[in-house]
Amino acid sequence: MSDSTLRDVVGEEPESIFRNRLCQARRYPTMSGMGDDYFSSIDQLRKLRSPLIDVRSPSEFDKGHWPGAINLPLFSDDERAAVGTSYKQDGRLKAIHLGLRITGPKMAALAEQLDQFRGADQLRLYCWRGGMRSASMAWLAQQIDLNPLLLQGGYKAYRHWAQKSFDQDWPLRIMGGRTGTGKTDLLLALQNKGVAVLDLEGLANHRGSSFGGLGLPAQPSTEHYENLLAEVLDQHQRQAAGSIWLEAESIQVGRCRIPKGLFDQMRTAPVLEIQRSLEERVEQLVGVYGQQGSEALADATNRISRRLGPQRTQQALEAIAEQDWATACRATLDYYDRCYDHELARCPDRNSIDLTGQTAAMAAETLLKAKLVQLSA
């Protein structure tokens, strides 16, 4: 970007442009030659594979974003708060001027960051509502000869799309089974063979029990979890999947909450119960949790002590202290088995199969050959 272009971007005249043009609802500045054609609906933008840029502040992005988006914030969190305070206390025009004073010195750096997308046919941009922040970034992108497209309605429109998807009718099939039967590994093995799978635990970074977060990355917010779920469901819909398999879960997967519309459908979906011997289940659990450390395991055990009861809690804690992982697992399985059996009793449409002795890959083949599970269309 040349010095003269920079002066055009940060000087007095662009302030007038931004003030009088960019703040117009769903309009670009006509002086830049841009109009309503540069706004696209969520459905139109979803058909493209061009770079996707979220210009909201870092904390907004962290709370939830269109999966796959790159965060290129126009304002930091503190700057966004300052502009918002100015808007409330001093009015819209004062807030615009403050925003211009903040963004003006950043224009060269932002232009350099945008320049990494020069090989793309288009840039997809969005802010919260498809207003000034995304329009400002799009104006800058056009000044350096890039071709921006804005999401009409911004991230708010994306959230509406995501949340609405959970109220659709989905061909769900539930993989059930007591704790330690290897349901997650089996679902992933089926997915590798072409079965449509919605990995509730994988997307949540949590295995679904008091012990479920051990050794895993931080969980996404429930908002972003919903976005991730919606994206996978949409992918299966576009591939015309005849059935979508997911694991039996409670509505909470750690801190992430399964959307009510989806969860209600899960509760009435057909269930395939996986059965394995107690020995295999204990071995599976020791393999997953045995490397997590005594302190973390003891903390997780104490969180469910009221449900385990004093005798089983003490038994589990003593086993953990002695690093007797198998005994510790057996002490907690009684509680989890009772919980699962209670939920299973509420499922009128269910089959079961014993897969004792089979690896996840072998079990996947067994289910496919028995036609208990079918490949995606």
pLDDT digits (tens, 9 = 90+) for 19-63: 344 434 334 433 334 455 678 999 999 999 999 999 999 999 999
Non-local CB neighbours of 89 within 8 Å, separated by 6+ positions: none
Enter the pTM of the model.
0.87
Q: Tokens standing for 61?
A: 């992005």
Q: What is the mean pLDDT of residues 262-275?
A: 96
> Domain residue spans in the chain?
3-162, 166-369
Helix (H) or strand (E) holding 151: strand 148-151
- Catalytic residue numbers? 127
User: Domain 3-162 is in which class?
Assistant: alpha beta
Reduce the secondary structure of 159-182 to three states and give it as a string. Answer: HHHHHHHCCCCCCEEEEEECCCCC
pLDDT in tens, 138-197: 999 999 999 999 999 999 999 999 999 999 999 999 999 999 999 999 999 999 999 999
Q: What is the CATH number of domain 166-369?
A: 3.40.50
Lowest average pLDDT, out of 99-108, 276-285, 324-333, 342-351, goes to 342-351
pLDDT in tens, 214-236: 888 999 999 999 999 999 999 99
Q: Tokens standing for 25?
A: 């609802």
Q: What is the mean pLDDT of residues 77-96?
A: 93
pLDDT at 307: 86
